[in-house]
Amino acid sequence: MRAMQIPSDHPLLLRIVDDLAAHGWSRQNIFLPADLTRALAAECRKRSAEGELAPAGVGRGASTEIREGIRGDHIQWIDPGQAESCDSYLNLMDSLREAMNRHLFLGLEDFECHFAMYPPGAFYLKHVDRFRDDDRRAVSAVVYLNDDWLPEHGGQLRMYLDEDTQHDVLPTGGCLVVFLSGDVPHEVLPATRERLSLTGWFRRRGNEPF
DSSP 8-state assignment for residue 121:
T
Count of domains in the chain?
A: 1
Domain that holds residue 192: 11-50+82-204
Distances (CA, A) of 146 to 44, 105, 114: 11, 33, 16
150 is a domain residue: yes
Q: For residue 169, what is the domain's CATH number?
A: 2.60.120.620
User: Could you read off the pLDDT of 113-152 as tens digits, one per residue?
Assistant: 999 999 999 999 999 887 666 788 999 999 999 999 999 9
66 is a domain residue: no
CA 136 remoteness from chain centre: 16
Q: Give the model's confidence band at 111: pLDDT under 50 very low, under 70 low, under 90 confident, else very high.
A: very high
Name the strand (E) or helix (H) holding 62: none
64 is a domain residue: no
Length of the chain: 210
Angle among Cα 100, 103, 108 to the nearest 5 degrees reads 35
199 is a domain residue: yes
pLDDT at 133: 63
72 is a domain residue: no
102 is a domain residue: yes
61 is a domain residue: no
Using a pLDDT cut of 70, give the percent of the chain over it. 88
3 is a domain residue: no
Q: When comparing pLDDT for 97 and 129, which is higher?
A: 97
Q: Is 187 helix (H, G, I), strand (E, B) or coil?
A: strand
As a whole number of angstroms, the distance between CA 169 and CA 61 comes to 30
Q: Give the model's confidence band at 26: pLDDT under 50 very low, under 70 low, under 90 confident, else very high.
A: very high
As a whole number of angstroms, the distance between CA 111 and CA 70 comes to 25
Q: What are phi and psi of 23, to 5 degrees?
A: -125, -15
pLDDT at 62: 46
CB-CB contact of 113 with 200 (8 Å)? yes
Nearest to 99 by CA among 198, 157, 205, 15: 15
Average pLDDT, the chain: 89
Q: What are phi and psi of 42, to 5 degrees?
A: -65, -40
Mean pLDDT of 63-78: 74
Whether the pLDDT of residue 172 is over 60: the answer is yes
CB-CB contact of 158 with 168 (8 Å)? yes
